[in-house]
Amino acid sequence: MQLMQRWNTLVGSMHRVRSNRGNQLPVVQERRMNRHLNARKGTRVLIIDDSERSLSELGKVFAALDYVTLKSSEPQRGLSKACFENPDLVILDIGMPGMNGFEVLRRIRRDPLARRVPVILISGNPKAIEMYHQLRVDADGFIEKPISRYAIFSTIEKLLDQDGIPRRLINKRSRFDFSFLKRISGSLASRKSEQLHTLRGPE
C-alpha cells in the first residue's frame, strides 16, 4: 500500500513538472522570436573585471555576435585600455580591489577622448548596488550579477544609434540641449536687435 502511494506521488510530480515546462515553452519561443537590435559586427567591447570567470563568460557571449573583446582583470590596466585602445563600449565591474569601478569610471570621464565612450557598470555586491542607486553616477547603464544574455543585450540596445554604434545617452541629450540653446540664443539676439532699432528710431 505504501509502495503504491509513493509511486502515485512520483508519477504526479513528474506530470506537474512536464506541465510546467510545457507552459514555459511559449515564453521561451516568444523571446527567441522577438527581434533584438545588436551592435554592428566588429564593435570593440572592453570588459574590466577582476573575476576571470566573468571575463571568460562575457567574452564568449560577445564573441558569439562577432564583437571584438578586450579584457582586463586589473583596474589600472583596464583604465589604460579604455583611454588608449579606442573601445566602443566598456563593461565595468564595481567591486574590484585597489581601484573600484566608481573610481575607474570617474577617471574615464576625465579623459578627453574616453569620456565619450558609453560605460555599463556591473556588480553582484549589495553594498555596491546600493551605492550605485544612491550616488549620481555618470554611467550609461547598470546590470546586476549574475548577468543574463537578455540583460546584457537589452541594456546595450538602448545605447545604439541608427548605425548600430553604442553612444552615450548623455551625448544625445547634449545634442538636443545644444540645438535648443542655439535657438534661444538666436531668438535673444533677434530681440536685442529689434530693441536697438526701436530706441534709435527711423533713420
pLDDT tens for each residue of 65-111: 999 999 999 999 999 999 999 999 999 999 999 999 999 999 999 99
Compute the half-sphere exposure of residue 9: CA atoms within 13 Å on the CB side of its CA: 6
Residue ranges covered by each domain of the chain: 44-167, 170-203
List pLDDT tens digits, range 163-178. 999 999 764 433 333 3
CATH fold of 44-167 reads Rossmann fold (3.40.50)
pLDDT at 133 (0 to 100): 83
Whether the link from the prior residue into 146 is cis, omega within 30° of 0, is yes
Cell of 168: 552615450
Q: Which of 15-19, 61-65, 78-82, 141-145 has the lowest mean pLDDT?
A: 15-19
Burial (CB count <10 Å: 0-12, 13-18, 19+), residue 150:
exposed
Buried b (16+ CB within 10 A) or exposed e, 84-117: eeebbbbbbbbbbeebbbbebbebbeeeeebbeb
63 confidence band (pLDDT: 50, 70, 90): very high
Is the pLDDT reported for residue 58 higher than 80? yes
144 confidence band (pLDDT: 50, 70, 90): very high
Q: What percent of the chain has pLDDT over 90?
A: 59
Beta bridge partners of 71: 47
Beta bridge partners of 68: 44
Is the pLDDT reported for residue 198 higher than 60? no
What mean pLDDT is reported for the chain? Answer: 78
